[in-house]
Amino acid sequence: MRRPADAAGRPLAGLATEVDLLPPLPPALDALHHREPATAENASRLRVVLARWLRGLGLTGDRHDDVVLAAYEAMANVVDHAYARAAGPLELHGHASAGTCTITVSDRGRWRRPRTVAGSFRGRGLGMMHELADEVLLRSNALGTTIRMTWQLGYPA
């Protein structure tokens, strides 16, 4: 930060500007952006990051849990289905404004069938996302898959 100076450019000692007296600005709460390798560990970590971000917006209770669960299901789908060998990127974006929260999860992979596990309860994630979110949009093509989920918060964000 630049300090006040006299006409010769020498710093004036002992003087503080109004800007010096202001507390530092908090990070923007209305946007969340993360890009990590698509691993189960990173999906779990991003779930915690998302939960904290939502609490910072003032979202709690069932609505908070719905957003976190739906987003985690989308991230788990990236881990399970997007990449055949090495973990490619998993992107998590959140945006809140005008009483709406939008979470976008995307990858740059191609759909692949999950490893089959006898007696597993797989294949319910997308249906769960549709039940938990107010709106779900899914786009998948040769460049990857993006799922955008939107919730009306009932209060201005």
Split into its structural domains, the chain has a count of 1
Residue 9 lies in a domain: no
Give me the pLDDT at residue 111, please.
74
Q: Which CATH number fits the domain that encloses residue 57?
A: 3.30.565.10
Q: Which helix (H) or strand (E) holds 141?
A: strand 135-141
- Residue scoring higher pLDDT (87 or 117): 87
What rounded mean pLDDT belongs to the chain?
82
Query: Does the pLDDT value for residue 31 go beyond 60?
Result: yes
User: What is the span of the domain harbouring residue 62?
Assistant: 33-110+123-152
> If you average pLDDT over residues 35-57, what whole number do you get?
96
- Residue scoring higher pLDDT (17 or 129): 129
Residue 142 lies in a domain: yes
